[in-house]
Amino acid sequence: MNTKHETCDKLAEVIAAFPMETAQNGSLVEKRPYGNGHINDTFLLRCETPEKLEKKFILQRMNHSIFKNPPQLMENVVHVTQYLRKIILAQGGDPDRETLNVLQTRDGANWYLDNNHNYWRVFPFIERSVCLEKVENEKDFYDSAVTFGNFQKQLADFPVAVLHETIPNFHNTASRFADFQKAVSEGSKERLALAQAEIAFALERKEDTAVLTKLLAEGALPLRVTHNDTKLNNILFDADTHKALCIIDLDTVMPGLSLYDFGDSIRFGANTGAEDETDLSKVGLDLSLFEAFTKGYLEGCAGSLTAKEIELLPMGAKLMTYECGIRFLADYLTGDHYFKTHREHHNLDRARTQFRLVADMEAKWDKMAAIVEQYKDSFYMI
């Protein structure tokens, strides 16, 4: 893929396709790469009127080597956001701030295909919002948990049949393990040597990989509509009230397990270190944050989780962390084609933090289970 800077200069054709520069919004005065997502190319565009009123937009080039069918992906995003709009309106909320909204092209389409076969989309920028790259305090994390739990509840009656599977087997950890084994068999000699310890760590835990998919197949866990990428920078906070405001990055909203959403949030937010921290002594599970998120998530789901789901919350956290680790490692071994990287061995560093976190969860397993036990009855009703 091109770098964002190269692309930024070539945006004119794409920008013209969307009604951003209008009499009401004024003309474009700024465009720059934006955010820290690992997948899409994101740009912030700012328009200004002669009276200095401004209107901002998020322009994204969808990563079509990862999302093989961007039109279907956009169909999902439009269905989900329109559905959420109705619910938010009925609840007296502000649908322009509490959900993403797709800005159609001047021709009335939900996406634009440029001459180089790249797919683009635009969302009005959610004003007066902030995006956090790490948890700054327990309250924010708790808030994000309530909001992710509530998101799943809002989508409880969503017509699942209309959703396309944008990435097949996205959180099928057993299938991710098979991909990882393939990467090991194809990996470069040099990288295989550097990652020996991490490969061994991953292989030792093979037995865990099928736990959730097996329970799902047996009917012991319910399939729900889930977000599937619930890291903290996929939620916006209100800049004024500091309350969690809007869940973004809806590309992977698909049928899934509640444990995926719970687990991925813990993986990213309850880690005492950054996802790509190189000093592994800083990496571990913060039990207070685990507790805050558990409490918030159960509250947000408001009685909709089954006893089995609640019991398995620690397993969700561990498996999502492990799975992300094998995904980073597989990408490292095969040449960094999936996740954006910003330095050499970046994906190996990321895999190492994930595995250190898994090891710490294993060491704290009884404490995690006790926290879940402590909160389980406050919100579960099934």
Binding site for ligand GN1 (CB under 6 A): 37-39, 229, 231, 234, 249, 251-252, 264, 275, 324
CB of 355 to ligand ADP, least distance (A): 23
Which of Mg ion, ligand GN1, ligand ADP, none is residue 143 near (CB under 5 to 8 Å by kind)? Answer: none
Shortest distance (Å) from residue 7 CB to ligand ADP: 14
Q: How far is the CB of 300 from ligand ADP (least distance, A)?
A: 20
With CB under 5 to 8 Å by kind, the binding choice for 181 among Mg ion, ligand GN1, ligand ADP, none is none
Contact 100, 246 (CB under 8 A): yes
Task: Choose the contact partner of 324 out of ligand GN1, ligand ADP, Mg ion, none; CB within 5 to 8 A by kind.
Answer: ligand GN1
Radius of gyration of the chain (CA): 21
275 binds, among Mg ion, ligand GN1, ligand ADP, none (CB under 5 to 8 A by kind): ligand GN1
Binding region for Mg ion (CB under 5 A): 37, 234, 249
Q: Which is nearer to ligand GN1, 13 or 133 (CB)?
A: 133
- Please identify the residue of the shown chain whose CB is closest to the bound ligand GN1: 38
Q: Which residue has 């003309």 as its token pair?
A: 27
Our CB check for ligand GN1 shows the closer of 187 and 263 to be 263
CA-CA distances (angstroms) from residue 141 to 96, 290, 297, 372? Answer: 23, 9, 10, 16
Q: How far is the CB of 156 from ligand GN1 (least distance, A)?
A: 23
In angstroms, what is the minimal distance from the CB of 142 to ligand GN1? Answer: 21
* Residue 252 binding partner per list ligand GN1, ligand ADP, Mg ion, none, with a CB distance cut-off of 5 to 8 Å that depends on partner kind: ligand GN1
Residue 34 binding partner per list ligand ADP, ligand GN1, Mg ion, none, with a CB distance cut-off of 5 to 8 Å that depends on partner kind:
ligand ADP
| Residue 343: C-alpha distances to residues 32, 332, 347, 353 (Å) | 21, 12, 9, 16
- State which residue, 65 or 137, has the beta carbon closest to ligand GN1: 65
Residue ranges in contact with ligand ADP by CB under 6 A = 34-35, 37-40, 42, 58, 100, 123, 125-126, 129, 131, 233-234, 236, 248-249, 251
Least CB distance from residue 377 to ligand GN1, whole Å?
A: 31
**Residue 294 interface partner, choices Mg ion, ligand ADP, ligand GN1, none, CB cut-off 5-8 Å depending on type:** none
Least distance in angstroms from the C-beta of 37 to ligand GN1: 4
Pick the closer one to ligand GN1 by CB: 165 or 240: 165
Q: Choosing among ligand ADP, Mg ion, ligand GN1, none, which partner's interface includes residue 131 (Cβ < 5 to 8 Å by kind)?
A: ligand ADP
In the complex, least distance from residue 110 CB atom to ligand GN1, rounded to whole angstroms: 19
Cα–Cα distance between 61 and 342 in angstroms, integer? 19
Q: Which is nearer to ligand ADP, 14 or 199 (CB)?
A: 14
